[in-house]
Amino acid sequence: MSTSKKKNVTPAQEKYQQLAKKHEKQRPVGKNCLKAFLIGGTICLIGQCIHVFYYTFFDFTQRTAGDPTVATLIFISVLLTGFGVYDRFAQFAGAGTAVPVTGFANSVASAAIEHRTEGYVLGVGGKIFKLAGSVIVFGTVAAFVIALIKSIFLKLGGM
């Protein structure tokens, strides 16, 4: 707690904070980190296996097999979210399920499922883009800034 906030704490509040801290459940940070690492790594391994499957058995190169791989991971994630499996799995795995593609697909699908009773346009569509919109805007702005920086460096290097 910062010193400026601590000055305004009464003795009773400080005593309560100490009591609450004593009874607070300790989180197994190391165990959670290991579990997140292993689960996230397993999801990435599955994605890599799907990627190899696409360029081995279909007419894809290693470079072009990425798009169907991502689409497959999104489909699996949304399907598992729809059946309620992904949420129980995420409860166990913690941050390991926050692998960008599957975690984002789960978030979007969960918002759609949760607000389907409000209608398709205002409920599903509106709530999906509440989350997806910020991600899309951030991605677009980040891509613009990176392209601008790259253009500046290329211009300076060509002089």
Q: What is the pLDDT of residues 90-121, one digit of tens each?
A: 888 888 887 778 887 887 777 777 777 777 77
**pLDDT, mean over the chain:** 83
User: What's the DSSP call for residue 132?
Assistant: H
Is residue 67 over pLDDT 60? Answer: yes
Q: Is residue 137 part of a domain?
A: yes
Q: Is residue 36 part of a domain?
A: yes
Q: Is residue 7 part of a domain?
A: no
Is residue 84 over pLDDT 70? Answer: yes
Q: Is residue 13 part of a domain?
A: no
Q: Compute CA 74 distance to the chain's CA centroid, rounded to the nearest angstrom.
A: 12
Query: Is the full-model pTM beyond 0.95?
Result: no
- Using alpha carbons, select from 132, 136, 78 the residue that is nearest to residue 105: 78
Q: Compute CA 146 distance to the chain's CA centroid, rounded to the nearest angstrom.
A: 22
Structural domain containing residue 63: 27-158
User: What's the domain count of the chain?
Assistant: 1
State the CB neighbour count (10 A cutoff) for residue 125: 14
